[in-house]
Structure 1
Amino acid sequence: MTHPEAGLAANSVAQRVIDAMAASEAVRAAVAHAALLGIRINVAVVDAGGNLAGFLRMPGAFLHSIDIAIDKAYTAASFGLPTSQWHAALQQHSAAVRDGIVRRPRFVGFGGGLPIVEAGQRLGGIGVSGGSEEQDEACAQAGLAAIGLSS
């Protein structure tokens, strides 16, 4: 059976994801911005399913920041919310939600992760770790700007 309007199988939906070249361009632009700031970062791009699509590590960047960058990208892609906005967002929820969600594996609730959205469609996320939260987010913004997007 197919959906009449899309010609798709009834049991599936089409989902757009970030292209490999765009992921590569975004991580390179984030690293270039970090160099301007004088910091060393790890930067990751994941697709809409949370799968790693691009990654760069600057020599000397913190080793723990490798996983943090990937998890920031994953968190931003999975919820469609910049990771810097989680503190405020959680204030609207019960204590159980506030306590429980931050204990989830791969969840990051501090700045440096941005969803990648094009024409209202979430394509993935970009995560940066190695600087301050503000520096990480600025590098992530630079990555998005390089591919013609913003958060």
Structure 2
Amino acid sequence: MSQLTLALAKKMIEAAEKEAAEINVPMVISIVDEGGNFVACHRMDDALLVSVDIAQNKAWTSVAMKMPTEELAKATSDGQELFGINTTNSGRVVIFGGGIPLKENKAIIGAVGVSGGSVKEDIQVAKAAVDGLEKSSQTAADVSN
């Protein structure tokens, strides 16, 4: 894999949507490439409209900061060294969980951002998307061997 394709993004979205349906929370799932460029976005029926921008910005933040957005919450609290970073980049930096960078051999190849539930639920569904990518990558490796 080395490039995050639309086909892989769709598999990730499918895995995330399945998890969101299991917990009965409509979500928005967004996938970006290693440059933070839009690859795909999926809004489940009845997901909050505000979640579209939030999910996209969580994914972008994960690529831009090279870390899960949940880790930013600690570093950006009052008195911490990154306090106020969420006011930069036209307010695009999200400092709560639901964004996770996607890695291959320690290199970031993109990110997923999820919004629509509680932060805990967003993280849970984002992790399901990451698991979907890992399963797709293993399947592709098995086929090529």
Counterpart of 2:51 in structure 1: which amino acid? S
Distance (Å, rounded) in 2 between the aligned partners of 1:20 and 1:83: 23
Partner SS, residue 28 of structure 1: helix
Question: What is the TM-score with the length of structure 1 in the denominator?
Answer: 0.81
Give 1:66's match in structure 2, choosing from 32, 49, 52. Answer: 52
* 1:89 match: 75
| Equivalent position to 1:103, from 82, 87, 95 | 87
TM-score for both structures, normalised by structure 2: 0.84
Displacement of 1:32 in angstroms is 0.9
- Encode CA deviations 1:106-151: one digit per residue, 9 max, x unaligned: 11000100001111110011000001101101101000101117xx
Contact 1:28/1:56 (CA < 8 Å) preserved in 2?
no
- State the number of aligned residues: 131
Alignment-mate amino acid for residue 98 of structure 1 = F
C-alpha separation between the residues in 2 aligned to 1:62 and 1:121?
Answer: 32
Residues 75, 83 of structure 2: 8 Å contact kept = no
Distance 1:122 1:135 in 2: 23
Residue 89 of structure 1 and its aligned partner are, at CA, apart by 2.4
For the 8 Å contact 1:43–1:127, the answer to whether it is kept is yes
Is the counterpart of residue 45 in structure 1 residue 36 in structure 2? no
Structure 2 spans left out of the alignment, 5+ residues: 136-145
Could you say what secondary structure the match of 2:100 adopts?
strand
Q: Kindly, what percent of the aligned residue pairs are identical?
A: 33
- Tell me the distance in 2 between the aligned counterparts of 1:54 and 1:121: 20
SS of match in other structure, 2:47: coil
Deviations 1:13-65 (A, max 9, x none): xxx54122111111121111000000000010000111111111001000000
Residue 123 of structure 2 is aligned to residue 137 of structure 1: yes
SS state at 2:32 partner: strand
**Residue 101 (structure 2) aligns with:** 115
Cα distance in 1 between the residues matched to 2:23 and 2:80: 36
The SS at the match of 1:102 is helix
For the aligned residues, what is the CA RMSD?
1.6
Residue in 2 that maps onto 1:25: 11
Looking at secondary structure, tell me which structure has more helix per residue.
2
